[in-house]
Each structure stands twice: as C-alpha cells, then as structure tokens.
Structure 1
Amino acid sequence: MAKPLDLPLLLIPVMVVTLISVSFAQTNVTSGASVQAVAGAGWSSPSGHFVFGFYATDGGLAVGVWLATAPSITVTWTASRNDTPATGGALRLTYDGRLLWTGANGQDRTVAAPPQPAVAAAMRDDGNFVLYAANATVAWSTFAAPTDTLLAGQDLAPGAQLFSSVSATSRATGKYRLTNQLNDGNLVMYPAGTMNVAAAAYWDTGTFQIGFPLTLRLDASGVLYLVGNNGSYTKNLTKASAAQAVEQAHYHRVTLDPDGVLRSYRHGLLSSGGWKTDVEWIGPSDRCHVKGACGFNSYCVLDRDAQPSCLCPPGFDLIDAGDAAGGCTASSGAGECTAGQRADPGSSMATMQNVSWADTPCGVLAAGTSAADCQAACMSDCFCVAALLDTNDGTCTKQQLPLRYGRAGGGYTMFVKTGGAASPALGGGGGGNHHHHRLRRASTVALVCVGLLTFVALCALLASARLLWLNQRMVRRRVALADAEALDEEAPLRSYSYEELEHATYSFRHPLGRGALGTVFKGTLRRGGERTVAVKRLEKLVEDGEREFQREVRAIGRTSHRNLVRLLGFCHVGANRLLVYDYMSNGSLADFLSRPKFLSKIPNAYIWVMHCDVKPQNILMDAAGTTKITSVRGTRGYLASEWYRGAGPVMVKADVYSYGVVLLETVACRRSMEMEETAGEEERTLADWAYEWLLVKSEAKSAMSSDETVEAAEVERVVRVAMWCVQAEPQSRPSMDGVILMLQGRLEVPFPPPPPASS
C-alpha cells in the first residue's frame, strides 16, 4: 500500500530538474554534482565562454566566474574574496541545497547558502552563475552580489557598492569603492575606509539632487547608464560600442580596477579564434585625481605616458625608497612640538605652485590673506607643517600631518615648512642680520653657563639620591626579614624570567591541572620567605599562534591588508624578525587603532594590527592622561556583529566598533551590558539610548551623570562619531583616521543612521 504513495514523491526532484532544464536550457548542474579543486576546472556556460569554478590566485586557488579570454582569463566575480586561498578538495552542490568547497582536510567553505535550498544550478552565457530553487525561481546568483565588476545585464542597485581588488593577481578587497548612494542617487568613488563625504570623493555622476534612487546598469551594446523613477529618468555615462565584423562574439564589462579607476572593457572573440580587449571609457580620466593614488605626505604627477608618479614635497623623504606610492615622512621635524615650544627659528618655507591637497585645516585665515602673511602664520605655529593659499580668494589654511591627496594642478599655492637656514626677514636691511648674530652669540654663552650650573647641581642631586637609596635598601632588608607578608603587600609587582620560573617549579615537575591554553604547575618562590605559587605555562597558544602566523605570512606574499594577523605582544618566525609591538607603549588608543604596521623583510606585505578586545578595562591611563591598551581576548558587549555571528571576515573595523562602544560608555557613564541587562523586554541598548538622545537633542548635561561642565556641541559630536563606529555593517564604519579627524572637529560628522535592531 505504501508503494503507490512513495513513487511520485521520489520522482519530484527528477521532474523539477527536467522542468528547469527545459525552461532555461542552460542548467548543467544538479544536486550532488562536484568539481575537483584544480585551476581551470569548473562548470561552463553553453558557449564555453564563461566558467564557474577554480582559478589560480596568489597563494592557491579561489572560486569565481571568469571569461575564458586568451592568453589569460578575465575574472568577473569571486566568492568570499577575502578568504585565504586554499588548495585541494572539491566544489559541490549539496543535497540540502548549498554550494560548498570541501577542502582536502575535510573543512567546508560556504560559497552560497540561498534562503531556499537549491536543486540545480547553471553557468549562463551572460556570465551569471545561478542557483535554482525547486519552483524554478532563482534562489541565488552572482549578479546579485557583484564584487569589482558589472557585466551586461547586471545592475548595481541603490545602496550597493563595487570594491576594487588588491591587484591583478589578488581579488581580495582593495583600496577603492564605487558607491551607489541610496540617500541622494549619486554614484561616487571613494577610497575604501572613508565616509561618504565630499572631502573623500574623487569622482561622481553629479546626480545628488535628482530626488530619487538610481540604478547603475550596463547593456549589451556597452552603454553604462543610470536609470530611476520607474524608467522615466536615464543618464548615459558611456556611448554604445561600434560593431566589428571580424568578431564572432563580444562581451562588455565595467570594472573598478585596483588603481581606483572605473573602466569599460570590450572583449571580442576574433574569427581567428583569438581574443581582443579594448578599453572604451575610463573615469576619472586623470589618474592623479584618484585620492590615495599616492600615500600620506606625497603628491601625484603624470608622466609623459599619463601614468601617475608619486613625489615628496620639500622637507620630506620617501618612507620606502622602493615604493614611491607608500608615502613620505617629514625629514625636518616640522610639526613635532613639545609643551610650550614655539616655531623653530631654523625653519624656512618652501613654495609649491599650482597644487591641490586635501584641505583639513587646523587654523584658517580669512580671504584676502597675502602670501607673506600666510607663511608667517604657519611659521609662528609650531604644529603647522604647511599652509594652503587659495589663489582665487586668498583664503589661507594651516595644515598638520598627515598631508593627504596631493596632486599637481589645482587652485592652491602650498608653503611647506622645512629645516635649514632661517627664512629671510619680511622687511628691514642688513643691520637686522648683525643684530640677530649678536643675539645668537649671547644666547650661546648663556646656555653654556646654565649647562655648567645644571651639571654641578645634578651631580650633587645624584650623590644625595644614592645615599638615600642605600639607606632605604637597608630598611627594606630589615622589614623583609621581620615580616615577609608585609613586604608582599607593599612591594610592587615584578616579572620573573623563564629560568626563575623553571627553577621555582622544579623544571615544571608537578602539574596541578590543564586549561585551554596550557598546564598549571606547582612551584615555590623563596624571595623573602617561601611561598607556594601556581605557574601556568602557555603551550597551545604559542604553538597555534606561531603556526597561524606563519600560515598568514605565507598567504600574504606580496598582497594586501586583507590578511589578519593578531599579535600577542610579539611574533618571531624563522629568520625574519617580523614585527614587535608593545601594547603598553606610549600613544593614544585612537592613534594605535589608526596606525598600519609593515612587515620587514617581506616585500610590500601590508597588514593591519588588531587589538580585538577594546574596552574600558583594557585601557590604562597614566598621570599625564595618556591612554595605553592591554590584553587581547574579546568581550561580549564590545564585539562587532561580524565577530560573533560569522557574518564576514573580522578586520580592523571590528576595533572601530569596540572604540565606538567605549565612546558611548564614556558619555553615558554606564556600561553597555548594564543597559541591556536592565532593559527587560524592551531590549534597549546603549546605541538606542544614544540615537534617541540625538533625536531629542537634550541639553548636554542630561547626557552626563556628573557635575562636569561640557559643551552641548562637543557631546553631540562625540555621540555622532560613536554612532557611526557601531554601525552593523563594517563598510559603514569610518576608519580610525576618520574618527580622529571627526573628534578633533576637522571633519564634518553627518547625522548617523539608526542602530540596527536587536536580534
């Protein structure tokens, strides 16, 4: 009796696959199908021109879609582009409807997990790889999640972005993004990691006043255009491509290339069987307009072949002579000031005509300022490194380090503070120089006399200090012999060498227990009397940490910032003395989080150092108010969503999120977790409170639970910055460089979007 009921159910998957095959005529992948992880292996489109499968990349293999051009393929989409390349295993469409790459070690990498289980898949001739649900609808496609490329028929929806790749051989997320802004309909290019503000933009379509969202679309003739308002509005960005009789077929794509330029390409399959590739349009046309083409404190110029070159302004030298795009560093000490210091009398000003730099002033002189007054204003300010004079209206702005987005051409004259001889007097004759010489001679004599007196006083002070130290040492010895416990209470903590701990534990002979990171041993310290102690010897952390670090370094090769290296104090691998960073070193927390680090002896390897546990308990403050950070673990309440939900790679923006929580706690004088625990059914978070406060615009004092006097504008700026930091999507959070500039009031802070709903 059961057989007649079971048979139709068993036939359903076969009927569905048949229906899909007839409907789309391109379905060639069914449940259970697999492809071995070998470069070039994959599922082809009916024409054989597009392939979905494995391609070779820096460090191994990646999964993606490519156009089978010759002599090399053209990658148009990459799965999980920031994952470390791997080798071995196979790609398969599972029976539960997912697309997985199962590695040689048995570990799975999810390529696609559609909301509806997929029963079939197809590599289509338009370059779109599609997963189909049981009802023959599209459950997932590569066109719906573009990386750096749009193909004909593919849209960039409102709010979506393209991110450039690191290089031609590494498809990881690079330095630039193309954003289809949802709020104003403008299509804009920015450096990755910056906010959607005009100061960071370097190309746009000028559609910011259109009044409705727009979709970016590429058609089969190669026309790239914006469309909106139900098709009643269109704006062409490119022209149609001319037909070529010698071609058997052709394909168009638009790619945000690694250099930050958006290019429209035409790939033609010639009758001879070869491929021809043409660039039909670029934006921006001047590659020096790409902000970030040259690093900090350097400026861009075009050579005879219209290729960008990076140069240092006067008083600056390349950080790395072999990498001109890596930026410059001040060689004159300009802008390095101590308390109470004024301008260096040995400085002078060099002039750069017809240049453009990002104008982020630390001081502004009104319109109509003369060149002499502009220079004098910078010379009198110890912190001023350069001054920008707008040649149109005479506005003068003083600049601090770092100088950003420099290029030849533009409406500015820049005066750069350099070392060397004192600058000529703005007025007066030779008598002034003679008077200056006499003053310098008198000053030298006075300094010598003061130095001698200081030396004598210092010797006397040192002698007194030594006598006092010897006396205190004798007292401490007596106290130690009389009462070892009292000494332990009063003496400061000290560190022990490995040899001391090995001796105290009798060569780690008596284990007391084992934890996640190592074994705890019984020991005895005999300093000031015997005391039994427990000593944990870290084992797994060291082994796993060094193995993981070596794997990451090998994966980095010559590529990118995408690879995460978590440093626990220091790392040492083989003969390469890679990077030493002391988490207790001087410097503000914000400065630490904004500072990229370089690996020595690994060419062009670029990484970000993450702390991964930014919270108030890990921030120490010394008597001078300098913040220092400690510990690396990760704590609930300060972790970004991508950390604990597995929503994406954990990168530097996770620390930005934690920093935002710390800012909110500082303003509210309440812990984030306390608000969540006391909110009850409302699930009201600290971010919810802060956003409501911004909407109501209460008085500043109501935001503080103390009597401290603050300015309302100051509090609002801090809260706005914090709200941007705690955005759910990492790409919506600003970089720490941007956070610093906003907190300093040097960068406008837009009103933030509401916090994500609690889950």
Structure 2
Amino acid sequence: MLFKTRRDIIIFIFIFIVLKSYSFYCFTMQRVTYLILLTIFLPFLVSAQQTNVSVRVGASLTAAPDARPWLSSSGEFAFGFHPVQGDDRFLLSIWYDKIPEKTIVWYPEGGPIVSTGSNVELTSGSGLLLSDPQGRRVWTSGPVSGVAYAVMNDTGNFVIFGNDSGKIWESFNHPADTMLPTQVMERNGVVYSKMSKGNFSRGRFQLRLLQDGNLVLNTRDVASGYAYTNYYATKTNDPANESNSGEQLLFDSIGYLYILRRNGKRFDLTPKQELPFGDYYHRVTLDFDGVFTQYYHPKDPTDNSGWGTVWSYPENICLSFHGSEDSGACGFNNVCSLSHGNRPKCACPKGFSLVDPTNPYGDCKPYFFPNCQEGGPKGDALDFIELFDIDWPYADYVIMNPTSEADCKSSCLNDCFCGVAIYRGNKCWKKKLPLSNGKVDYLLGVKAFVKYPKSDINPPGNPHISRAKNNRQSLIIVGSTLLGTSVFVNLLLILAICAGMFLIYHKKIRKLDPGIETNLVRFTYKELVQATNGFKDELGKGAFGIVYKGVIRTNTVAVKKLYHMVQDGEKEFRTEVNAIARTHHKNLVQLLGFCDDGEQRLLVYEYMSNGTLASFLFGDMRPGWNPRCNIALGAAKGLSYLHEECSTQIIHCDIKPQNILLDEYYNARISDFGLAKLLSMNQSRTNTGIRGTKGYVAPEWFRNTPVTVMVDVYSFGVLLLEIISCRKSVMENESGDEYGAILTDWAWDCYQEKRLDVFVENDSEALDDVKKLRSFLMVGLWCVQEKPSLRPTMRKVIQMLEGVVEVNEPPCPFPFIM
C-alpha cells in the first residue's frame, strides 16, 4: 500500500491543496488532476476508516508483538491478539486500549493461547476464523452465511452483520468472564471465571441467571460441567408470583447492574449512590477466585490509579460454602482465609503440599495418606501435626460428643480411616481425606489434628515456608559474594547501612511514645496546625472535642482536637489511641496518627467524604432503601467486630447516627471510640457511670447494674429503626423540648397493627421489598428488648439481616410498662 496511515493521506492532500491554490492560473488542469487523485485515493480513505470502525470480509490480523488491532471508533476498545504468557504467546481478545493495563474483557470459549504467526480472518461462511501458523482451525465464531462486515463498537461489543444489515453474531452474546455497560444476560445465561490468573480456559466458578429468575454463583465440575450448590444467590425467584421473578440481568450505560423482574421492577446489585462521580470505565467480572466484582477506572487517569472496586459478592467467600459438595473456595485439603479487598487467600496447611505448585488455589496432597492395609503404620507408630483455628466443617464420618481432647486424638490415631480429627468444645469430628471447604476461623477456638507417621522425624511443613527459607539462604550467599568483591563496595554498603539505621531511628522516635502502645504516626502540634490551616474548617463537634478537616501531604484527613481541660478528655485520648490502633475493619474509621504535644491532644483519622449517617437519613431527600439496608448491615458488622473479633473486647457505648460515618461509596464506618470501655476477654461486664446519648441509652444504664455489650445492641436497635423509617429516635424542637411519639414505641405499634406503610411513610422502594422490611423491623424490635438477655448478639443480628437465619416474632420490648 502506498500510504500506510490516514495521516499520510491527509498530509498528501494538504500539500496538494496548497499547490492547487498556488497554481491558480491552471484552473482546468488542476480540476482534472484533483478528480484523478480523488479517484485514486478514495479506496485508501475508506480502508483507513474501516480500520477504526468496520471490518470487511477477508480482512485479517496476524499475531505478532507489534500487530495492530481493529479499534472501535473512539479507540477505547481493541479487537486483536493480546500478548500473554511471554512474547510468543497471544490470546485473541477484546481489551480496553486507552488505559495502561490493557485489561481484557472478552476472549473465545476455552481461551485458546496461540503463537506468533497465528491468524484471525473475517470470512463469509465461518464468521471469525482463528487458525494457527500452520493454518489449522483453532476456533470459529460459528457457521454463518452472507457476512457483509463487522464492527468493533465503542461499547466493547464486536458485532458481525449480514447482507441485510442484521446482526449475525456478537461477542456480548458469548461472554467470557466479564460484562460491560449495555450488556444483557437473559435467563439461562452463564458467565465463567478463568481457571487461574494466567489461564483463560473455563474455571470452576459460574455466574448464572437461572430459568426461575434467580441469579446465583456456584462452583462446577470442570470436566463434566456439573453445577454444584450455589454459594451466593439474589433470591429473585418467586414461585408464588412468577411475575416478580427475574427476567434479565442488565448492566446499564451509567454503570448500574440490576435484575429486571418480569413485572418491570428491578433488583439492584449496584447500590444506588455508590458509583464514583466522573468519567469512568465500568465492568463486572467473575474473577478466577470466585468473587463477582464491579470495577471502575478513570478514563483519563492523572496518576497511576488502576481499577477500583464498587462492590463484590459474596462478602466473605470463605464462609459462603455450605455442604460437602465440591471443595469450597479453595481446592481439596486447602484452607481459605480472607485477605485485602474481600479476596480469598488459599494455602496448604502443614502436612500438605500443592498438587500443582503453580496454582495456590488448587488441591493440596497429604504427605501421609492413612490406609487400612497390612504393614502400614498404625497406633503408636503415628502422631499428629496440631493446627489452630483451621477447620474443614463438612464430610465427617464420626462425631464424638461429649469427649476430651485426649480421647479425640486417641480415637483417630487408632482408626485407620481417620486422616484428620477436629476438636472444639468437648466435641470431636473424625474425617477422611480429602477434606473440603477448609477455612481459617479465629472465633471458633478449634484445633485440627493431622495424622502423620513418626518415622518422619520432622513432619513436612508448608512448602511456601521452605522456599522462603531457601530464598533467605540464597540471599546470604549472594550478599557474601558481593561483600567480598571489592573494598569499595564494602564501604558503600557500610555507609548505606549507617544511613538506613539513622533514618529508622528517627522514624521510631517520630512514631513511638512510651505512654502509648502504638505504631501510629506521631504528629507535632505545629504540623496539625498547618494541616488544618489553623483549624478553620470545622466538620463537627462531640462531647469531648471538635473535628476539623485537614490535608497532610496530598491526603484529606479529619483531625479531632480534644478538650484538654477535663480529666475525661485525657482518658478518652488514651482509650481511643490504644483501642483504635489495635482494630482494623472495613466498617470502622481508621486512626492514622495522634499528637500529644504538651497539653495538646489530637487524633488524626481518615476523612469520610459523605459525612454522617444522621445527615444522610434526616436530610431534605429521603435516601434509597437498598443503600439504607447496606448501611445497616455494615454498621452491624463493624459493631460485631468490636464485640467479638478484637483481641480486647470493646463496648462502644454511644452508637448513634452521628457516630456512623459514610465513606465515598456510602459504606458505614463506625467512629468515636471515646466512650468505649475496654474489657479483657475473660471479663464480660463493667461498672461505669451512665454513658451515651438520649434516645439510644439502654435501660440497664439507669439501674446501676453491670452493663455488657448488650448496651450497644440496644443502641443499634434504635439506629436500625431510624434507618428503616428515616425518622429520629427522639424529636426535639429548637429549644430542646421533645415532641411526637418515641420511635421504639411507634415501631412496636406499627408492627402490632401491621401498618408497615405508616412506619416507612409509604416509602415505595421499602414496601416493594416488604419481606426484608418486615424482617429488619423485627430485628430492630429484638435489639431494643428491655431485658438484655432477650437481645441477640451482633453476630446473630448480622445473620438475621442477611436472611441466613429466620427471625422469630419479637415480644413486646417494654413489658414492664404495659
């Protein structure tokens, strides 16, 4: 081709026009020349245009490192050969072409990897035809006839059109692991995960919209395709009213994913008001680890920002599998724990190693497999590897209850079928190999005993640990070699070590305070004066201090300046620093640092951009039902963490909407531990003065009796009723006088009279979800029971809110005044 790009053609035409203008005196000859050139170059202009918009029959691409793809008109999406697994390996795919990651969003069924020289061609009889360098067919989009052209759309959809301009085939109807805005899944539609991060063949996990309208996540047998029991479901099937069942899964152009019911109503998967503001790409992907996630990415990133997460389901995949079908989130004998961003992390426990060392999510093989054959090790020839906080909860063949730990071990030791014994709370479960649904759970107090022969003097451990040790030994050898190469290098290393020790020493001086057990950043008062611009931008006031907005480096923060003239302020400072520094949960506000210059006491928190729950609930506009439900569940999870998962139990003592903050995605974040009383794990009660806020204080505060975590459960119950009704617990006028019904009384009356519509003031979204509405109201009434012993734990509250356990009819919360 004479001209390789449209730019070459445009430059030529520009030069020609200049010459044309310059040669005005030869008008007739110029006109003839112009027409000739236009006739010659018109096909090239059309061809250049087709490179970015349409693809003609016979057009092809060849796999090579510098191969050009077929682009959409905006250039945002590309169709072609994407390099994977090295320079000579390619995947036919569609990807985002304007972002550095070049994220793949579609590939053919099976994810075939091809080598350099492979070819894809748009044919008239087979549509897209992928062949290897020897010309052998690898994949085709399917037998078709009358193909006219194809288009790579700006939506990310590659479409083949027929002679009648009708669609013959489109990638949106054959998804891989991702859906894009404007894409629709009909009933019986399926999305498959990848096998692993670098293996694009179909993996173990599926997203399916079932015929009955229920959207589910499930694992499957890869060889046969058999679908196992789901580990997540939207429950959008309604056998009693089929018109209320799901019909389609839609991902709209704005970025909201929802299920459209047959009656036209919708079930939102993307909570309202959770999408980031601005110009972003959106996608939902069933990742290879089984987590279904919505991602966003700025279209014009100004920094190195990558894909952010809007939401992911399920929230904890390690705890989502129930039953003995399949292996769980990880492979057989493997153990699942939750890591950053709700992602599962799989690891073989001691006594096991990976079947496939390249796949940490796969099966783990035991170093010793018990058997009942003659000559095998038995009884005294065997011993146990003891594992803590690891459980495989299903497929036990013997349960001993009650029993002792010693009897549990002895029974398994002398049982040739027993490979592992689980012991917890005077109960023993004997299990055969392989084990399924392994998970780490620090709350159960469980022990696992893995059998191994004593002839193995040192029972094998996790291979990852061995590799780490080898790496350290290699590092020592390499380091020694380098140190011995020259005196000059030695001097440089000594200087570098001295400089590093100096920096570390000064960093420690900055971070540590002998009076406070924490590694938080310690700021000077001067630094925080500068960060807050002289404490000018006030965010709010509390009983013990004022909160100001500030900026440290490029990060926006909230700086709480404590009142230092009262003794309780000093106590609050120590309490908050020691308590919050040891906590970390996505539904808690994170403490970033502190200041204790002289009499100044300040705390530095991460900034919550959407303010308090009080502003959200009681503003001019009534917030949506689904965001309110998500906030309630998030607050419950944060409170459960404080009660049951901290190394030192924490009673918050002042749960109210003003102390629930909302981050940029409207996630609930509990703040203000200033009234928290810390309890050691063997202590369940504390005596203290009345603490809390009017309308949220549990009755036992007024009885001068020991209080427990149940005071927080009561306060949460009031909070939940406020979230449901968008009404304050206690209504006050400007002078502070109360008026109207107390919320807890009103909630009970509405529940008794079956007037939920009155309680939510005819909130149509809530009434459309009346089953959840009634369930949430019942949970709230259980939480505000006057007798603490009747209130559920926060863990039970979470289970009831999520629909995992049934909510029973609550009694009257205040029987003593009836």
**Shorter-chain TM band:** 0.3 to 0.5
